[in-house]
Each structure stands twice: as structure tokens, then as C-alpha cells.
Amino acid sequence: MTELYAYRLICKSYINTQYSAKVYSRKTAHNQATDAQVNIPTFMSETQLSLFEDSTFNERELIPTNAKIPIPPGTYANVTELAQHCNNCHRCGLGNTRTHAVVGRGNLRSLIMIIGEAPGQSEDETGLPFVGRSGQLLDKILASVNLTTENDIYIANINKCRPPENRVPTPEEIAACKPYLLEQIRLIDPKIILLTGATAVKGITGDKRGITKIRGQWLEWEGRLCMPIFHPSYLLRNPSKEKGSPKWLMWQDIQAVRAKFDEIRNNG
């Protein structure tokens, strides 16, 4: 049994539960109110329910855009499919306020993947991650060790939609969007993952330590090497380049990343 077929059966069981609950509710409507209280799931519209009719079933349409239904590993064949689905996603409330879902940019066969927190205004407007001031600084940092998004790097975020006022995504929003990121990681298959800031670190590894305590350390997650680094926006707020400053520490970290990149590439 394929994962997608098994997943279809799970979704149908949800529908049966909903249907049974509605029927029960109608039958008991004339009885006392307490007798008619039924927890009716509301995670699917009537249009979504019709997708499961055998005569019109389409596996791609089955992919859920509601956070109450999981997205199993292996759902997407490529990043293009994932991006199309993200742009129709409402697994959390951020889908109601976005201009664009911000999926990723860079080389789809990169050895290095950089994961940020969430899009800002510039990213929401363009549909691309790290294109504002923080992104420009990140590109300069990468260029300082001869790394580029065209050849060596793929960039994505924990969340694909911009939180209002650029606030930190809530745990519920992160959980709703995380399946997309996990699918991106599976499709890109990087050997090195750079986690920019504490939100990215916690969202991927579950490590709750502050970024100043763990930056520059190699962590292993799901068979991949991860390094927490400062978010570029933090560096913009701390422009000093003196020894021990955040920018100085970032320079040490990015050189370590370059060395590990060369080691992995040379070892094939």
C-alpha cells in the first residue's frame, strides 16, 4: 500500500466521521439540546468533500490545505508542485493575509540549505526569501567565501507566509507550515543546513537554547549537519566588526561552513 493511498483512506475516514456526526445531529435535533451535542469536524468544505468521490478522485487535489490533516513524506514530486500548493494553502491564518507564499530560491541541487524564520515585507511582495536588507547582507556573507545561491545554496524559511507586523510565527503557525519545509529538505537533499536564528533552530531541531549559546556548533539532525548562525537582521542591528562582535563571530562561522562544504564535496 502506497503512502498516498493509505493517506486517502485516512482522509475518507475523516469524511465518514463528519457525515455520521451530521446525520446524528439531524436525527436528534427534535430532542433535548444536550442530546444533540455532537463534535462535528469542520476542517473540510463541501467542495473538498466532493473530491473524494471515486468518480472524480484526483490524488493531487487530495493534498490537504488544512493543518488538521497531515502531509505525509513523499507527497510532492518536485519543488514546483510544492510551490503551487503553498500558494493555495490555508493551513493557518497567515494564508489570509499574504501577498505571495515565499517558498525558496537557489540551486535545487545544493549541498547547503539555509533556513530562516519567515518572510518580511519585501519577501511577501516578491515571493522570494531573503531579498530585503537582510538578504542582501546574507548574499555578501556567502560571497565572502565564494558561495552563491546560483551554484551552492538553496534558501527557504520555516514559514512560507509573512506574519503581520513581521512578528515571530506562533508555534501553531510553525507546526502548520513545517511539513512543507520537511518536503523541501527531502527534495533538495542538502548535506549542510544553516539555521538562521533561534526560531529556525527550535523549529527544526527542537533545541530551545538561545542562538548566542549554540551558534557556530555543528549539530546532527536526521543524518544532516546543521549549524545555527546569527540571523542577518541581528547583524544589521549590531554593525561592529570588532573581535567578539556578532559580525566577527559570523565570519568565523561562515569560514567553518566553507571548510565543511569543501570537505564534503571533495569526498564525493
Q: Where are the alpha helices (DSSP H) in 28-86?
A: 46-50, 79-86
Packing angle between helix 133-143 and helix 246-266, nearest 10 degrees?
50
Q: Is position 55 within any domain? A: no
Rounded-to-integer distance, Cα 82 and Cα 91, Å = 14
pLDDT band of residue 52 (cuts 50, 70, 90) is: very low
Q: Is position 21 within any domain? A: no
Q: Is position 180 within any domain? A: yes
Rounded-to-integer distance, Cα 252 and Cα 37, Å = 61
Q: Is position 123 within any domain? A: yes
Torsion of CA 104, 184, 116, 133, to 10 degrees: -10
**Mean pLDDT within 54-69:** 57
188-229 confidence digits (pLDDT tens): 999 999 999 999 999 999 999 999 999 999 999 999 999 999
**Could you tell me the CATH number of the domain that includes residue 169?**
3.40.470.10
Q: Is position 223 within any domain? A: yes
Q: Is position 218 within any domain? A: yes
Residue from 242, 191, 245 nearest 218 by CA: 191
Residue-range definition of the domain harbouring residue 187: 103-266
Q: Is position 161 within any domain? A: yes
Residue from 113, 109, 123, 122 nearest 78 by CA: 109
- Asked if residue 163 has pLDDT above 90, the reply is yes
pLDDT band of residue 67 (cuts 50, 70, 90) is: confident
Domains identified in the chain, total number: 1
Q: Is position 259 within any domain? A: yes
**Mean pLDDT within 231-247:** 97
What is the pairing mode between strands 153-157 and 219-221?
A: unpaired
CB 120 within 8 A of CB 99: no
122-142 confidence digits (pLDDT tens): 999 999 999 999 999 999 999
Rounded-to-integer distance, Cα 110 and Cα 190, Å = 6
